[in-house]
Amino acid sequence: MRIPCPHCGARDVQEFTYLGDAKPRRPEGLDATEAAMLEYVYVRDNPRGPNDELWYHAAGCRAWLMVRRHTLTHVIESAVPTKSAKAGVAA
């Protein structure tokens, strides 16, 4: 696979590490409940189709990216920095 890093251009997937689904949002603060945190840490969908995922350009610019990848075909629609995409940022 090649991931189109918005900073570095298309790079071999070997340069990246994969984290997983980008949708879950960390329940922030002292008021967060254990149940919500449990959901955030462990519960994931297993979608067939385009999915937003977190990838880290470890051997490149060290940016965390939100990559929209089709889980069946591996077709990548987009890759954007999480900093701009606000992926994972608590509301």
Q: Which residues in this chain contact other proteins in the complex, by CB under 8 A?
A: 1-2, 7-9, 11-12, 14-15, 17, 19, 26-30, 32-34, 37-38, 40-42, 54, 56, 58-64, 74-76, 81-83, 86-90
Within 31-70, the residues that bind Zn ion by CB under 5 A are 57, 60-61
| 5 part of the interface to Zn ion, by CB under 5 A | yes
3 near 44, Cβ under 8 Å? no
Structural tokens at position 34: 């254990």
Rounded to the nearest 10°, the torsion over CA 60, 77, 75, 39 is 80
| 8 part of the interface to Zn ion, by CB under 5 A | yes
Cα-Cα end-to-end distance for the chain = 32
Residue 46 CA to residue 64 CA, distance in Å, equals: 21
* Smallest distance, other proteins to C-beta of residue 62, A: 6
Given the complex with Zn ion, which of 24 and 67 has the nearer CB atom?
Answer: 67
